[in-house]
Structure formats: C-alpha cells, structure tokens
A = this chain, B = another copy of it.
Amino acid sequence: MPDNRRFLLQRRPDGEPVREDFELVTQPAPDLAEGQFLIRNHYASLDPAMRGWMDAGGNYMPPVPLGDAMRASTIGVVEESRAEGFEKGQWVMGLNALEDYSLGIAGGFTQPIDPSLVPSVTNYLSIFGAVGMTAYFGFLEVCEPKEGDTVLVSGAAGAVGSLVGQLAKIHGCRAVGIAGGPEKCARLTQKYGFDAAIDYRGKDEAALQTAIAEACPAGVDVIFENVGGPILDAGLMNLNLYARVGLCGLISEYNTDAVGARNLWNLIVTRSSIRGLLVMDFVERFPEGAVKMGEWAAAGKLAIDEHVDEGLEGAYDSFMRLFAGTNDGKMILKIA
C-alpha cells in the first residue's frame, strides 16, 4: 500500500486552533476488505463547520477522534476497489478526511461524480457541493424570500454568502452584503451584483446599524447570517415585520467566548424568526438544487469563486484563512 500523509487532530483546540493541535504524519494507506475501495484524494473542502467537529461535545456529527485525520469533504479518484459500482479511475466525492488516501465503503456517503459535466471538477466542492446547496436550500427554503424583499447577507464575500447574494438578485430581491475591507466590498457589488456593500471594519455596532439602515431604506426582510455577534445584532435592529433570519453560521463566535445576541427582543417587536439551517436536511433534494445552480451558472448569472491552496502540509494555514477572511471564494485544498 502507498504512503498516506494524514493531517491528524492531536489535541482539541481551546478557542482558536493553533498549529500544535494538529500533526501531519505518514502512515501506510489502509488495506481493503471486501466492499471497500481506496480513494486518492485530489481536493478537500475547508469549511468553518470543521471547527465544531474538533470539539469534544460533538454537534450534528460526532467529534473527530483525537489521533484521527481531520474530517473533510473531498473529491478524488478510486485507486483500487473491492466494492461493486466503484471502478478504478472513477471520480468520487464524499465525506472523508485531510489525507492522501481515504477508505470508501459501498453504501456509504461516497458518490460517483462526472467531471465532464462541470467547468472544473472542483466545482463539486463549491456550487455543486455543500456550499452551493447550503446557499440554494438555506436561502430559498429556510428564508422564504419574496420578489422585492431586501436581503441582508453577512459574510457576503464568503463562499456561501456570495452565492446567496447572487441568488437574491436572481429572485428579484435587493441584495445588501456585509464584508471586511474595501476589496471585498468592491467584489460584492462589481462581481456578485450586490446592490450595496457594507464594510464592517472600523464600525461599532451602532455605526453598523446605521450603515445597514442606509443601505436598506425599506428595511430588512431576510437576513442570511454567517457571522453572528455585533453584526447579527446590528441586522436584527433593522428587521421589518415578520422578517426571517436564516442562521447558517456564527463564525465570529466559534473561537471565542461569544458576546452573544443582545437584540433578540426585536424579534418580539417585529414578530420575526431565527431558524438554524443545515444543508444535510436537504440531501435528497441535492439533484434539484444542482440542476438549478448549473443552469444559472451556464447562463452567466452565478460567478463561481474558488480559492485553491496547494498541499496537505499547509492545511492548518489554509483552514485558518476562513477565520481571518483572507480567502477569495470557496476555500479548497489541493492534495494531489
């Protein structure tokens, strides 16, 4: 069996993950039992949700065991197979790990994919993967946008946020994005078609609240929330009656003792709701979502932005980009 470089979780992070919480080791690739196949991973998706999987408590998934390779969605090629339906050389996608080789199991989560259907095979980790489906189902199903609604997106330059803004425009909404720094804000309006962009940097909660009010003169009907903290609080203060907040992520709160949301009282005043959303609830409808996203991408209505870093040895630095916000588009790690 070939050498298998594996990016292991060796210690549960206390707040912000540090380099020493992980270790890149080389182990032999696993032997195959009947019904199993070996995947040569080519690309891995790096997502904020992975931070939650590092904690002991677990959430919607069990925690990654210490000493095990860090769980991640990957795409790769079947290197060897003892499983029916998985041929050597076939491209597959699944929930595997940050490692050169992963073990696939027939009947498991790993599914064949067809690179000839998409501009780049990596798109299976962006618009046709969890990120794209999160934007599609999270926005359209959970936030229930109506034509003419004002949609406020936090983390708007991120992988999910940038898609949500574009989906909002496709559905006849006013899209307003919040992001950090002038470059990202320029990208929101120039590349993704947001009607307005708000730079949260250098703004306290009151200034942010005012900036949102100015960018959303008719108030906010939908918030697609990726960030939390004062950004969510400032958004809550601009809600219209019966507004919907789709809670996709709270990236500002994952590594720190959260400040928390102090403006929930405005949910009462406006009779609005916050609903947590998780893409796995919509797995059975992924084909529907992928077809629509593909149509819009083909029509030039959806920009596909991917930020591909190279090399398993840089996994920690690439992952931490998500929290520093130094990635431009869906964060992907090229493994081979």
Q: Please give the residue numbers on chain A whose beta carbons come within 8 Å of chain B beta carbons, in ascending order.
A: 52, 59-60, 228, 233, 247-250, 253-254, 257-262, 264-278, 281
Contact = CB atoms under 8 A, between A and B. Distances in A.
Contact of A260 (B247, B262, B266): B262
Given A253-B262, A261-B261, A278 B274 contact: no
Contacts of A59: 265-266, 268-269
Contacts of A261: 260-261, 264
Given A261-B261, A262-B259, A273 B276 contact: yes
Contact of A268 (B258, B264, B276): B276
B271 A273 contact: no
A249 to B, nearest CB: 7
Contacts of A52: 265, 269
A268 B249 contact: yes
Contacts of A266: 59, 276
A1 B271 CA distance: 42
Nearest to A233: B260
Given A59-B269, A247-B264, 15 more contacts: A59-B265, A60-B270, A250-B265, A250-B268, A253-B262, A253-B265, A260-B260, A260-B262, A260-B264, A264-B274, A267-B276, A271-B275, A271-B278, A272-B276, A274-B274
Most buried by B among A233, A250, A276, A277: A276
Contacts of A264: 228, 247, 250, 260-261, 274, 276
A50 to B, nearest CB: 14
29 contacts: A52-B269, A59-B266, A59-B269, A228-B264, A228-B265, A247-B264, A248-B268, A249-B268, A250-B265, A253-B262, A253-B265, A258-B262, A260-B260, A260-B261, A260-B262, A261-B261, A261-B264, A264-B276, A266-B276, A267-B274, A267-B275, A267-B276, A268-B277, A268-B278, A269-B276, A271-B276, A271-B278, A272-B275, A273-B276
A43 to B, nearest CB: 25
A275 B273 contact: yes
Contacts of A271: 275-278, 281
A273 B248 CA distance: 12
Contacts of A275: 267, 271-274
A276 B259 CA distance: 21
A239 to B, nearest CB: 9
List the 3 closest pairs (A to B, CB-CB), nearest first: A260-B260, A267-B276, A260-B262
Contacts of A253: 262, 265
A16 B233 CA distance: 22
A142 to B, nearest CB: 9
